[in-house]
Structure 1
Amino acid sequence: MAVLDLKRKLAILSDAAKYDASCASSGAEKRNSLSGPGGRGKGVGSTEGMGICHAYAPDGRCISLLKILLTNFCIYDCAYCINRVSSNTPRARFTVKEVVDLTLNFYKRNYIEGLFLSSGVIQTGDYTMEEMVRVAKSLRLDHDFRGYIHLKLIPEASPELAAQAGLYADRVSINIELPQDESLTILAPEKDPAGIKRAMGRMRLSIEDHADPAKKAGRRKFATSQSTQLIVGADAARDGDILARSANLYGAYKLRRVYYSAFSPIPDAASRLPSMRPPLMREHRLYQADWLMRFYGFTQGEIVEPGEDLDLTVDPKTAWALRHRGDFPVDVNSADRDTLLRTPGLGTRGVDRILAARRLTRLTLADVKRVCGSTKRAQPFIVTADWTPGGLTDGGGLKANLVAAEQLSLF
């Protein structure tokens, strides 16, 4: 096999990492007060600041990450994966030192603020996980690196190696890949859905144990959360099935985030896979629905039933409001917080500002616009001191008008 130079390796292994969406760095904390080795002084790196954008945190911060695979060689033959063992794709492999040096050099040039490291499985799960842990350990202990590190865990790796990964990473993730276990069994028969869940469960317990204030004294900082990714459109799962799986994952494993990645057709794909990518709007709607479950008090069943799909023409909150027109309009001067959160066009920050402002005065439409930024979507669903939507809420053309407004907002 020809020896590849570092630049060629980087091209191959950064491109191979693009299919993994679970790399946002929200929730990262500064490592200026670590206990144990490397816990004092300024160190190298920071989770704050700006650089080349690779991901966005939920609070809007731009997070630049070096996002690569340790290797795209893999012993598995997952039908939906470009790096499967039977795939005719260029292969490369970094050494531990190469990843460490790249991370430090890119950081010092202000290209990145951290590292997202995943890998194909080579030799065994333990061997691969051990190599990835060595990268993070070297960055933290040998170079006092304080930047963000996200490690993708190999589910079949030993619990001891997963625990070590948590000691050096800010966040970890274990990709469950497909919304339905039976689909994973068909498309990735070498993977064990039950084993993935066990690994998630163990990591949840480790995170909670290290977060216990009574046990934190004298211990190294541990990963603050875990996430996962679901591929959308590789199997026959409907949006309701996907969100039902997400709701279960949030409840059972306390995940920080579920990421949705639209299936991308790959060369030489199996005939049982779709030949076309699903609409990107479907991925977008799933993220919006996920947001409603996590921050707006909606249950999965309220948004969409299992076996059904989300409406692609309007956002999920508006779709819910259109199905519950009898609950609207709501008076912004008297409605409680939960009711306001279910109102189209009102976000969490806008609702909190409304609640604060109405203690001082009765709010007009202009006041709502001032605290929320816009009232275009909200107007048919709210009453203010000087505004009532009249027939807008019950008008047969309401959905068409909202669809047109959203399409315009995309441009």
Structure 2
Amino acid sequence: MTVQRKLAILADAAKYDASCASSGSSKRNSVGGRGIGSTEGSGICHSYAPDGRCISLLKILLTNFCQYDCLYCVNRVSSNVPRARFTVDEVVQLTLDFYRRNCIEGLFLSSGIIQSPDYTMEQVVEVARVLRVEHDFRGYIHLKTIPDASPELLQKAGRYADRLSINIELPTVQGLEALAPEKDAAAIRRSMARLRVHIDDAKGAARDDAATPVASMPGAKPGRAAAPKFAPAGQSTQMIVGADATDDRTILSTSANLYGAYRLKRVYYSAFSPIPDASRNLPLAAPPMVREHRLYQADWLMRFYGFTHDEIVPASAEGTAGMLSLDVDPKLAWALAHRDRFPVDLNLAPREMLLRVPGLGVKAAERLLVARRVRRLRSDDLKRLHVPMRKVMPFVLLADHRPGRALEASDLAARLKPAPVQASLFSA
């Protein structure tokens, strides 16, 4: 099999892993001569570096052969799909060739399980080692680690990778036992804990070295030494949404636990996609894509806006059945359910309450806090920040604005839904 054919198979097989790229885009392509470009292609994806830069990654599997039979996975051992396997050298050369042609800035590498978890992990780590040590590759490397692999291999992976990820797969232990019986939820958690310890130790060593004078230079000022790094971009994970009956409240509870216990950088949510020859234990249809979107919005509220998971989907809420609203975003849904907390006086309220106003983001709240030190805030200040005025104004007090009875209106939720987009005059 040619390398090009392997690339076609193993890039396509990697597209289901969302833990290095966003998903949710509608499927579009230029087949038939209409339009330019495609969202369905595989092989190169976009991710974000620790400093916020958007980077392009070669996203492939080392192999889609796998000895596991996870029911939701298109690459499971019982799946009837074309199989391929790269050698270590082939992945290295592909990465370098794409990089030299300025097509990519790094590599995302995952793999099916072959022979044993340790054998597979050794191959994945060897790719990163050869790139870093033998070719002095300075690009971004994200390795998908295998939880059953030995601690020594996980530690070695962190020396060469910018980010490591271990997929928790499903939100509950019961779901994992039902749909992926070969996988061990406890082993996944243990590996996450080991990675956290190594990451914390490396950061602690870097801080200590930065505060220690260079011994060879008498009287030298403290400076940052080259402390060994370990996955400096942290670790992430992925959960499949909609493959079982787990509700959104449970999913967010699991995410909150992962963030707190293992200091994950990101939890990615991947809407279940029906696969060929699927098991009867799986749904026949994919969940609404907007559900995945709402989970990302809720996740953002937990990470940056000070919300707790049980605030976003409270257990006592009637009619929610533990699910996020598909009609409105989670922040607006919370505000509508807590109208007694509004309107918020933007000239007096603390930062924590500004962040709970629908339509106000973190940057906007910070700028308002700075501006109100020197003057009373007015409607024009919000307009200059380009916030969605229609969404914000019913929930705030300003020097020249009071919402009156708008906040009490029974149809407020309907009026705040996004307006339908006008079709372009020049659209087909």
Q: TM-score, normalised by structure 1?
A: 0.89
1:20 match: 17
| Counterpart in the other structure of 1:89 | 81
How much identity, in percent, do the aligned residues show? 64
The 3 A distance-change label for structure 1 pair 59 and 137 is closer
3-state DSSP of counterpart to 1:91: coil
Per the alignment, residue 416 of structure 2 pairs with: 402
- In the other structure, the counterpart of 2:3 is 6
Aligned equivalent of 2:110: 118
Deviation at 1:397, TM superposition (A): 1.2
The amino acid across from 1:250 in the alignment is Y
* Aligned residue type for 1:134: E
Q: Is the 8 A contact 1:364 1:385 kept in 2?
A: yes
Partner SS for 1:393 = helix
Seen in structure 2, the aligned counterparts of structure 1 residues 366 and 360 have a Cα distance that, compared at 3 Å, is same
1:372 Cα shift? Answer: 4.3
Q: Which amino acid in structure 1 is aligned with residue 114 of structure 2?
A: I
Q: Which has the higher contact order (CA 8 A, sep 6+)?
A: 1
Residues 262-283 of structure 1, C-alpha deviation per residue, up to 9 Å, x if partnerless?
Answer: 0000000100100101001000
Aligned pair 1:273/2:267, yes or no? no
Q: CA RMSD of the aligned region, Å?
A: 1.9
Q: Count the aligned residue pairs.
A: 381
State the AA in 2 paired with 1:340: L
More displaced, 52-61 or 305-314? 52-61
For structure 2, the 5+ residue unaligned runs are 23-43, 211-224, 316-320
Name the residue aligned to 1:384.
Answer: 398
Counterpart mapping for 1:240-251 below 5 A: 240-251=249-260
Asked whether 1:207 is paired with 2:207, we answer: no
Counterparts of 1:85-164 in structure 2, within 5 Å, are 85-164=77-156
Instruction: Give the aligned partner of residue 28 of structure 2.
Output: none
Residue 350 of structure 2 is matched in structure 1 by: 336
Shift of 1:305: 3.3
Deviations 1:182-207 (A, max 9, x none): 11001111100001100111111011
CA contact (8 A) 1:311 1:319 kept: yes
| CA drift at 1:102 | 0.7
Deviations 1:21-48 (A, max 9, x none): 11159xxxxxxxxxxxxxxxxxxxxxxx
Aligned position for 2:187: 195
Aligned counterparts of 1:7 and 1:196: Cα–Cα separation in 2: 34
1:165-216 per-residue CA deviation (whole Å, 9 max, x = no partner) reads 0000000000000001011001111100001100111111011011102268
Counterpart mapping for 1:164-313 below 5 A: 164-212=156-204, 213-214=207-208, 217-224=225-232, 225-305=234-314, 308-313=322-327
Equivalent-residue separation in structure 1 for 2:336 and 2:282 (angstroms): 35
DSSP 3-state at the match of 1:335 = coil
Counterpart residue type for residue 262 of structure 2: Y
Cα deviations by residue, 1:321-356 (Å, 9 ceiling, x for unpaired): 000001111111111100000110000000000001
Q: Alpha carbons of 1:79 and 1:300: their partners in 2 closer, same or farther (altered >3 Å)?
A: same
**Shift in alpha-carbon separation, 1:59–1:145, aligned structure 2, 3 A:** closer
Q: Which runs of 5+ in 1 are unaligned?
A: 26-51
CA contact 2:291–2:326 (8 Å) conserved in 1: yes
Q: Report SS of the residue matched to 1:82.
A: coil
Within the alignment, does 1:66 sit opposite 2:58 as a pair?
Answer: yes
User: For 2:343 and 2:96, how far apart are their aligned partners in 1?
Assistant: 55
Conserved? CA contact 1:153–1:162, under 8 Å? yes
User: Is this contact kept in 1: 2:45–2:59, CA < 8 A?
Assistant: no
Question: Is the 8 Å Cα contact of residues 184 and 193 (structure 1) preserved in structure 2?
Answer: yes
